[in-house]
């Protein structure tokens, strides 16, 4: 094992096949274990909803289409209607609707692609008016910036920044 250092415990965890609850001692131990999991120290942890974002290509509108699958603070699947709580109220149930995902089972929140092309053209026109000619391989990053305006509560990990400038220059 050149260059590797063995760390951690290599013992296999014991698998509990049956549990007999017949004494107060076992119940007390179980209660202590649960209370330890929910200790006051956990109050410092900010629990938030999380989302899986999938992007498909919409053949009809010839643009990307965004789909959201949400999970609550306990990592349990959100009902699609609850996802709309994290969407800009200007867009909930109008631009963002609940539909069948083309590749995944069940209903998902989707940002309808009917205006994506026009909005993306406007963003690119603004960039070009400021002397920036966007490269084709940067389209997805620009698209995610646009989606962030529809779903402002979801933070993306941007690896680059685009300055769209001010319209009052």
* Catalytic residue numbers, as ranges: 114
Residue 78 is encoded by which pair of tokens?
A: 């959100």
Q: Distance between CA atoms of 71 and 77, rounded to whole angstroms? A: 4
Strand partners, 63: 58
Q: Are 108 and 101 in contact (CB under 8 A)?
A: yes
CA 122 to chain centre: 26
Q: Distance between CA atoms of 86 and 98, rounded to whole angstroms? A: 13
Q: Where do runs of H (alpha helix) occur along the chain? A: 24-37, 80-83, 116-129, 139-150
């Amino acid at each position: 094992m050149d260059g590797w250092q063995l760390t951690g415990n290599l013992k296999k965890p014991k698998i509990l096949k049956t549990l007999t609850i017949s004494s107060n001692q076992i119940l007390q131990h179980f209660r202590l274990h649960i209370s330890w999991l929910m200790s006051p120290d956990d109050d410092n942890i900010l629990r938030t909803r999380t989302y899986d974002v999938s992007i498909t290509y919409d053949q009809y509108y010839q643009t990307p289409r965004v789909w959201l699958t949400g999970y609550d603070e306990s990592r349990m699947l959100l009902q699609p209607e609850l996802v709309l709580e994290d969407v800009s109220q200007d867009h909930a149930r109008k631009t963002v609707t609940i539909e069948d995902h083309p590749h995944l089972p069940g209903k998902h929140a989707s940002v309808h692609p009917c205006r994506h092309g026009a909005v993306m053209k406007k963003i690119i026109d603004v960039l070009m008016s400021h002397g920036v000619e966007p490269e084709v391989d940067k389209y997805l990053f620009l698209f995610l910036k646009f989606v962030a305006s529809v779903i402002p509560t979801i933070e993306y990990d941007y690896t680059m920044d685009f300055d769209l400038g001010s319209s009052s220059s």
